[in-house]
């Protein structure tokens, strides 16, 4: 199966399934699609750029500073806030989840810490509301994708980046909590760590 055929199948698997059974964009006014940074975008998985050979006018693909494997450059997809939903990148389809492979080499699906500032679904009281069919579909997609060595290598590098973001987010929240007098400070700080370590498998 070619990369193009692989991503066609992946897009189909996630085409009708979303994080909530309602339009989650109504919770946040589509915050994940609106950014003040014109160069903000979503990483493309290795080979996913084949889905955009026709160069749609709502999206541009360019190189990022992020690399994986033996220095292979990761491409990033940048849109104008509007897209052809049937062609939205995989990173958009699975948001706010992310595939993660830790030191033990086991694939997990977890909350993307980069989503925490913008996505209400990353909050503790909303995480449990997430559509279970969506979570299962994301798990199935990446169980299939990691069979590709290049994509597996990319996810391993992405996981290290996620670790860095989680550590920064935890340090920020811990520092912020110190500014407030609270008898339950210890339990609050524990809640912060648990929230960003939420695993869906």
Q: Which residue has the higher pLDDT, 108 or 27?
A: 108
pLDDT at 49: 98
Question: Within a 10 A sphere around the Cβ of 10, how many other Cβ atoms?
Answer: 22
Residue 9 lies in a domain: yes
How far apart, in whole angstroms, are the C-alpha atoms of residue 80 and residue 1? Answer: 32
Q: pLDDT per residue over 56-111, tens digit each?
A: 999 999 999 999 999 999 999 998 777 788 999 999 999 999 999 999 999 999 99
pTM above 0.85, yes or no: no
What is the span of the domain harbouring residue 18?
3-196
Residue 59 lies in a domain: yes
**93 sits in which H/E element:** helix 90-94
For tokens 């997609």, name the residue.
141
CA 10 vs. chain centroid, Å, equals 15
DSSP state of 183: T
CA 5 vs. chain centroid, Å, equals 22
Asked if 176 contacts 129 with a C-beta cutoff of 8 angstroms, the reply is no
Residue 201 lies in a domain: no
Number of domains in the chain: 1
pLDDT at 26: 67
Residue 172 lies in a domain: yes
Radius of gyration for the alpha carbons in the chain, expressed in angstroms and rounded: 17
Residue 127 lies in a domain: yes
pLDDT at 122: 79
């Amino acid at each position: 199966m070619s990369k193009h055929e692989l991503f066609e199948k992946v897009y189909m698997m996630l085409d009708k399934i979303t994080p909530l059974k309602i339009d989650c964009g109504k919770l946040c006014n589509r915050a994940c699609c609106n950014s003040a940074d014109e160069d903000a975008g979503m990483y493309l998985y290795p080979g996913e750029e084949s889905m955009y050979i026709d160069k749609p006018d709502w999206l541009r693909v360019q190189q990022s500073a992020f690399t994986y494997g033996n220095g292979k450059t990761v491409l990033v997809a940048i849109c104008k806030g509007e897209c052809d939903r049937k062609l939205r990148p995989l990173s958009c389809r699975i948001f706010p989840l992310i595939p993660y492979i830790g030191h033990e080499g086991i694939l997990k699906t977890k909350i993307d810490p980069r989503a925490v500032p913008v996505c209400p679904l990353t909050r503790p009281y909303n995480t449990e509301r997430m559509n279970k069919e969506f979570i299962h579909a994301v798990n199935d997609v990446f169980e299939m994708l990691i069979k590709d060595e290049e994509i597996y290598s990319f996810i391993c590098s992405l996981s290290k980046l996620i670790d860095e973001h989680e550590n920064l987010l935890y340090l920020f929240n811990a520092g912020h909590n110190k500014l407030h007098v609270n008898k339950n400070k210890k339990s609050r700080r524990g809640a912060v760590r648990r929230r960003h370590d939420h695993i869906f498998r």
